Amino acid sequence: MNTSLLDTDLQLSPEPEGRILPAMVISLLVLVVVGVAVFYLNPRGTAKISVDKVEIFAPHTVFTGAPGTIHVLGTSAGYEDDLYVVVNLTITDELRLPLFLNNVTITITQPDGSEIEATSVSSTYYPRLEKTFPKLATMVSTPFVQGDQVDPDTTRKGTFLVLFPGSNEATWKNRKSARLSLNLVHQSPQVIELSQVGP
């Protein structure tokens, strides 16, 4: 058996470090360049949102008996207080992908620190609200609806309508603060403080 032939084919010594080190340095530099490019070329925010106007509508509805129904003497008619808040927004898509609007929520912090949250009124209720409260319908000029799209580098204007059931105008006027959360599909909610906005 020729041992010299085995010795030449089988090399148990490690590769010289001189060949591995440059490859590792180049790989590391490529990773750094890619990381810096992603950091500087990607937009910092998802959307730029500005609140153009906030309006409130607080109907006090009194329920009286329908004709032909029995009214018990000494009992008062029922009533209902509701607080509608109409928010006019300008939304600019700063992402290189389209944004899809879901809804908004508004959270009021009251003077005692407690919070009340309201969510968007679905656009399917707008025709009924228009018949019941014509004044409210004029405030909701260009409503955003669930699934509305804002294309990259474009701006859209519209309104969201939210309802605080059982609240009245004083709830809004006496608030300590209020914040709006614009909920997007597949993106983080965008939050705006409304403390200094609106009536």
pLDDT at site 70: 58
pLDDT at site 124: 87
pLDDT at site 17: 54
pLDDT at site 130: 87
Query: Which residues, listed in sequence order, are joined to residue 60 by a DSSP beta bridge?
Result: 81
pTM (predicted TM-score): 0.69
pLDDT at site 65: 55
Distance separating the N- and C-terminal Cα atoms of the chain: 100
For every residue of 142-199, DSSP letters joined together read: SB--TT-EE-TT-EEEEEEEEEEET--HHHHHT-SEEEEEEEETTSPPEEEE-TTS--
pLDDT per position in the chain (199 positions), as tens?
555 555 555 555 555 555 777 778 888 888 888 876 665 556 557 888 889 999 999 987 776 655 555 555 555 556 688 999 999 999 999 888 899 999 899 999 999 999 999 988 988 888 898 898 999 888 988 899 889 999 998 999 999 999 999 899 999 999 999 999 999 998 888 898 886 555 5
The three-class DSSP label of residue 118 is: strand
Average pLDDT over all residues of the chain: 81
Tell me how far apart the alpha carbons of residues 53 and 198 are, in angstroms, rounded to a whole number. Answer: 6
163 neighbors 118 (Cβ within 8 angstroms): yes
For every residue of 44-97, DSSP letters joined together read: S-SEEEEEEEEEEE--EEEE-PPTT----TTPPPEEEEEEEEEEEEEEEE-SSS
pLDDT at site 198: 52
